Amino acid sequence: MVQQAFNTLLVVYNLHNHVTFPTHRSGSSLDPVVTDLPHHSIQCFPLDFVGTSDHIAVFTKIQFRRPSEETTARNLWRWEAANWDALRAALRNTDWGEVLNGEVDQQVQRLSELLHALQLRWVPHSNHTTKASDQPWFGPECRAAADAKYRAWRALNARTRQRHRAATARMTAIQEWAMDEWKANLRSKTEGWSGRQQTLVESH
């Protein structure tokens, strides 16, 4: 009756018992490992009796596939290094009558395409891939420092221990710099928005 109740439990809840060998001195299998995972992901092995117990220890290996983390690619624009003279010249030489012609939606699309094309040409930029777990301030400098730290860790031994310490210190310094830059950027955006609100209030 006990065996029947156990088998019914497995069937009703779609469970699997991964122990297929005796676990008791009597030759009975009294120590099940029950999961809802597929058979190929669980491996159970008998060890030896533990102390004066009549039961053997069961060693269980569980294979988990690490889920791939979603990544997002975005362009980082170096506006401080933009060729503003060339950009202004391109805007002066634009046939605005051709761009701002037709329906409003068409004008908006052509204007957006023009500005984006000029931005791609005259503003230096690079592609940066971010992970979902990355902090908002974790930019390419932090990524490069983290990669260097990881490489130093993998090569860590008595001779390279100092190099790993240096990479760790550099990573910490760059993280602090990135966080400060991110906070300063947020403050400038907030102050700019507050200033615009104040101007609107005074104008009314």
Phi then psi dihedrals of residue 127, to 5 deg: -90, 135
Q: Which residues contact 11 (CB under 8 A, 6 or more apart)?
A: none
Residue 12 CA to residue 191 CA, distance in Å, equals 62
Residue with tokens 């910490």: 172
110 contacts: CB under 8 Å, gap ≥ 6: 99, 100
- Tens place of pLDDT for every residue, the chain, 204 residues? 888 888 888 888 889 999 989 999 888 888 999 999 888 889 999 998 888 899 999 999 998 776 666 777 778 888 889 999 999 999 999 999 888 888 899 989 999 999 999 999 999 988 877 777 777 777 778 878 888 888 877 776 656 677 777 888 888 888 888 888 888 888 887 776 656 555 554 554
Cα–Cα distance measured from residue 63 to residue 38, given in angstroms and rounded to the nearest whole number: 10
CB 77 within 8 A of CB 118: no
pLDDT at residue 150 in the model: 80
Alpha helices in the chain (DSSP H): 2-12, 84-92, 96-99, 104-122, 140-154, 161-203
**pLDDT tens digits, 138-165:** 777 887 888 888 887 777 665 667 777 7
Residue-level pLDDT at 68:
67
Model-level pTM? 0.38
Per-residue pLDDT tens over the stretch 177-190: 888 888 888 888 77
Cβ atoms within 10 Å of 145's Cβ, excluding its own:
21
Residue with tokens 């130093």: 152
Q: Where in the chain are the domains?
A: 2-62, 79-133, 135-192
Contact 161, 100 (CB under 8 A): no
